[in-house]
Chain A
Amino acid sequence: MAKLLLPAKLENLEAMMEFIRKAAIDQGFDTKQINHIELASEEVLVNIINYAYPDRTGDIEITLTPQENKGLEIKVIDWGLAFDPLSLPEPDTCAPLEERKIGGLGVYLLRKLMDEVYYKREDSRNILTFVKKI
C-alpha cells in the first residue's frame, strides 16, 4: 500500500497523476488500462481541486492498494464540501454537440472505465474508491 498527501491545487495534479501512473505500471497494467486509470484519476482529482475547498486550502490523500487479483484499488480522500460525484447525471452521449452539457463527462468516464466505484461520506471526509482489474 502506498499513500500520498498533497494540497488540493492544480500545480500538484501532475505529482498525483505520476504517483498513480507509476503504481499502475508496477501492477502490470497494459498501456490502454493505464490510460483508463489516468482518465478516471484525473477526473476525481480535478473535481476536488476545483470544488472541494471553495473558501480555504485543503488536502487530497491518495491511497493505492494492490489487489490479490493484480488489480489496483485507488482511494481518494478529501476533507472538503460533501459531494458525491456518482450522483451526477450521465451526459447524453448521443446529443448533438451544440446541445451537449459541459459537465458530467468526467464522472461518466470514471464509471465506464473503472470496474468498481464507491463513494461514502465519513467523519467529514469524502471517500471515493475505484478499482481497476487486470
Chain B
Amino acid sequence: MESKFLLDVKGEVAKIELLGRLDAANAPLLQEELKKLAGSAINRVVFYAKALEYISSAGLRVIIFAKQKMSTNAQVYFIGAQELVLGTIKMSGLDNFMFLQDTYND
C-alpha cells in the first residue's frame, strides 16, 4: 500500500489519516505539516490509523511531537490501530498519554 497521510483541520481539531507505513522515510513529511499547526488553536489531534500497517520510532516521534508542540492541553487520539501498531505504541509507553480507541465521534 502506498504510504501517505491526509490532513484535515476544522476549528480546534486536526484529523490525520495515516496510510501504509509511518517510518523514517515519510515521518519527517508529516512532522513538517504538523509544524505548521503549532501555536494555532488546535487542542485535539486525531490520528486515524485503521490503514496504518507499520509505525517505527520515527513515526512515534511525530506523535510525541504533535502532543508537545500543540497547546499544552492538546489531546491526542489514535483511532482504529491494528494489532502490530498497537503493540509498538504500548511498548514505547505512549499508550498512557493518548486515547487509543476503535472509533471516534466528533
Q: CA separation between A113 and B88, bound complex, in Å?
A: 10
Q: Which of A58-66, A67-75, A92-100, A118-126 contacts B (4 or more CB under 8 A)?
A: A92-100
Contact assessment for A96 and B91 in the assembled complex, using a CB-CB cutoff below 8 Å: no
Contacts of B105 in A (CB 8 A): none
Contacts of A32 in B (CB 8 A): 84, 87
Query: Total contacts A to B, CB within 8 angstroms?
Result: 65
Judged by DSSP, the binding face of B is: helix
Size band of the interface chain A makes with B: 20 to 34
Contacts of B92 in A (CB 8 A): 91, 93, 105, 108-109
Contact assessment for A13 and B25 in the assembled complex, using a CB-CB cutoff below 8 Å: yes
Contact assessment for A46 and B58 in the assembled complex, using a CB-CB cutoff below 8 Å: yes
Contacts of A10 in B (CB 8 A): 24-25
Interface residues of B (CB under 8 A from A): 23-25, 54, 56-58, 60-61, 64-65, 67-68, 72, 76, 84, 87-88, 91-94, 96-98
